[in-house]
């Protein structure tokens, strides 16, 4: 077994890990419509974008946020409200919603990054729940518990009609995912990304080396929030109908689980985690009404048997070295 792992690792070194990762992502995106319906496949990729954005702050920054549902939900609501009250152009609405969510994430990051560990997590949770309450109570604008529906809007893209054909929309979202994936991989391998990982490993050491830790994490938090908001905008376009549940703390919990299951601190992990989470949820829901119990067992098994996530475990077994971030180590940092 060791010989097989060593030889595979040599092959990976020759091909290039980054190129192999790109091929892996492309392969998953091509395979998904053959595994699930185009609609469910699109949901997986959209949630993969959400988890990929979240992975920046937890997987690379090492800070656990329970407030990313706020950015995801605000991205969805902003898109629908802009189309309804401002512009009919869906692309401009999505772009505007990302700008709005980015501003909100900058403010939330400034407020929450005054603390670390469990205190940071609780502040992000409080801010997100405040946002949820505002959206829920402001029924005159947001529809309250009744939610909102995206007004009919055309969004042609060359020969494709993304809003009228599920497979076309999947193709568009997949291309968007690939663009974001390449961009994030470049950020991670840049001096900024390497510094962020150094902060994750030892914030005290990074401080002694002269790095402005707070500003690095603040920028990472803003990037993470912006991408999460973009995912929320795509979610609104996919499902047409949105409700305050998108901002509830359970949505933050879902993206945390996706990131952990796929592999924190890995590029491909968020997509794998989103695929496993959604496919298993859909399968278990067809088996029993208490599907959450079955899913809970899976989560416990992953944390115990593969604390570095599915992708992290696969890479460590095949290449013979450590890969991904051990979630237990991040949990230990939450102790006050």
Count other C-beta atoms under 10 Å from residue 296's C-beta.
12
- Report, as an integer, the average pLDDT of 54-59: 94
Q: What angle do CA 264, 99, 165 make, to 5 degrees?
A: 75
Does the pLDDT of residue 329 top 80, yes or no? no
Residue 331 pLDDT class (50, 70, 90 cuts)? confident
Does the pLDDT of residue 177 top 90, yes or no? yes
For the chain, the average pLDDT equals 87
Q: What is the pLDDT of residues 71-127, one digit of tens each?
A: 999 999 999 999 888 888 888 999 999 999 999 999 999 999 988 889 999 999 999
Q: What is the pLDDT of residues 248-283, one digit of tens each?
A: 999 999 999 999 999 998 889 999 999 999 999 989
Provide the percentage of residues in the chain whose pLDDT is more than 70: 88
DSSP per residue over 150-214, as a string? PPP----BTTB-TTT-HHHHHHHHHHHHHHHHHHHHHHHHSHHHHHHHHHHH-HHHHHHTT--HH
Could you give the CA distance from residue 78 to residue 82 in angstroms, rounded to a whole number? 6
Does the pLDDT of residue 14 top 60, yes or no? no
**pLDDT for residue 20:** 80
Could you give the CA distance from residue 231 to residue 265 in angstroms, rounded to a whole number? 19
Residue 8 pLDDT class (50, 70, 90 cuts)? very low
Q: How many domains does the chain have?
A: 1
What number of CA atoms fall less than 13 Å from residue 123's CA on the CB side? Answer: 16
Type and span of the H or E element at 59: none
Count other C-beta atoms under 10 Å from residue 42's C-beta.
28
Does the pLDDT of residue 10 top 80, yes or no? no
**pLDDT for residue 2:** 46
Letter string b/e over residues 117-142, b meaning 16 or more CB atoms within 10 A of that residue's CB: beebbebbbebbbebbeebbeeeeeb
Q: What is the pLDDT of residues 208-257, one digit of tens each?
A: 888 899 999 999 999 999 999 999 999 999 998 999 999 999 999 999 99
Domain span including residue 317: 2-332
């Amino acid at each position: 077994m060791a010989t097989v792992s060593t030889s595979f690792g040599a092959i990976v070194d020759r091909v290039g890990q980054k190129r192999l990762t790109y091929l892996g992502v492309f392969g998953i995106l091509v395979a998904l419509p053959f595994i699930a319906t185009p609609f469910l496949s699109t949901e997986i990729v959209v949630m993969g974008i959400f988890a990929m954005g979240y992975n920046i702050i937890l997987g690379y920054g090492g800070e656990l946020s329970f407030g990313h549902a706020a950015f995801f939900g605000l991205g969805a609501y902003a898109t629908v409200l802009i189309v309804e009250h401002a512009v009919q152009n869906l692309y401009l609405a999505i772009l505007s919603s990302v700008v709005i969510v980015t501003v909100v994430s900058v403010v939330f990051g400034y407020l929450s990054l005054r603390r670390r560990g469990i205190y940071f997590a609780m502040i992000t949770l409080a801010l997100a729940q405040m946002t949820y309450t505002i959206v829920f109570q402001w029924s005159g604008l947001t529809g309250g518990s009744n939610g909102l529906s995206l007004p009919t809007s055309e969004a042609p893209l060359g020969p494709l009609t993304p809003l009228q054909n599920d497979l076309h929309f999947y193709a568009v979202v997949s291309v968007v995912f690939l663009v974001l994936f390449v961009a994030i991989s470049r950020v991670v391998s840049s001096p900024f990304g390497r510094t962020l990982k150094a902060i994750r490993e030892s914030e005290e050491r990074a401080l002694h080396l002269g790095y402005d830790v707070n500003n690095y994490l603040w920028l990472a938090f803003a990037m993470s929030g912006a991408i999460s908001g973009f995912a929320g905008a795509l979610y609104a376009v996919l499902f047409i109908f949105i409700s305050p549940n998108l901002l509830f703390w359970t949505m933050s919990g879902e993206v945390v689980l996706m990131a952990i299951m796929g592999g924190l601190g890995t590029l491909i992990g968020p997509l794998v985690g989103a695929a496993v989470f959604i496919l298993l949820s859909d399968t278990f829901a067809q088996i029993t009404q208490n599907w959450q119990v079955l899913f809970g067992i899976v989560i416990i098994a992953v944390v115990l048997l593969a604390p570095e996530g599915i992708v992290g475990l696969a890479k460590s077994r095949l290449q013979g070295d450590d890969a991904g971030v051990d979630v237990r180590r991040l949990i230990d940092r939450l102790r006050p």
